[in-house]
Amino acid sequence: MMLGFVIVAALLLAPAAFAAGPFDGTYTGTLSCPAFPDQTPMRVDISVTVTERAAIYATKAHDLTGAAERGRGTVSPSGEIALSGGCDGGFSCVTDYRGNLGAKPIQLKGSQRWWFRSGERERPCAIDLARGKS
């Protein structure tokens, strides 16, 4: 009886252990945004990791500001990804990006809203991603 229970439990749990989603993995690329007045355009490396329809992302620190972004989001069964996050490094910003991980090439579009002493500014941004090798 106990052996039967163990076998049934193992069969029920096995699919969950091997059920990696089709979009699970690490994606790397570039986040690009036009310049704010009196600044250079932003272009930084970005990494997005997807696990079980949840995503996290992070950028390297921008050379000019030293700020980096971090955030999270969701991935639908069809690959639609929605990310939101903010800035680290002494700056205040909120970010939002959307796209589809099943598209070729993978491109996300979105925006950044920053708060400076001189006021609030928003700009459009684009992310180009490639899936890492498994």
Show the domains of the chain with their CATH numbers.
Answer: 21-131 (2.40.160.90)
Provide the pLDDT for residue 46.
97
Contact 48, 55 (CB under 8 A): yes
pTM, 2 dp: 0.81
Contact 54, 75 (CB under 8 A): yes
pLDDT tens-digit profile of 33-60? 999 888 889 999 999 999 999 999 999 8
Provide the pLDDT for residue 116.
81
pLDDT tens-digit profile of 24-34? 999 999 999 99
Provide the pLDDT for residue 15.
46
Provide the pLDDT for residue 91.
79
- Cβ neighbors of 42 (< 8 A, separation 6 or more) are 31, 32, 33, 34, 35, 62, 64, 125
Q: What's the whole-number mean pLDDT along residues 88-97? A: 88
Tell me how many helices (H) and strands (E) the chain has.
1, 8
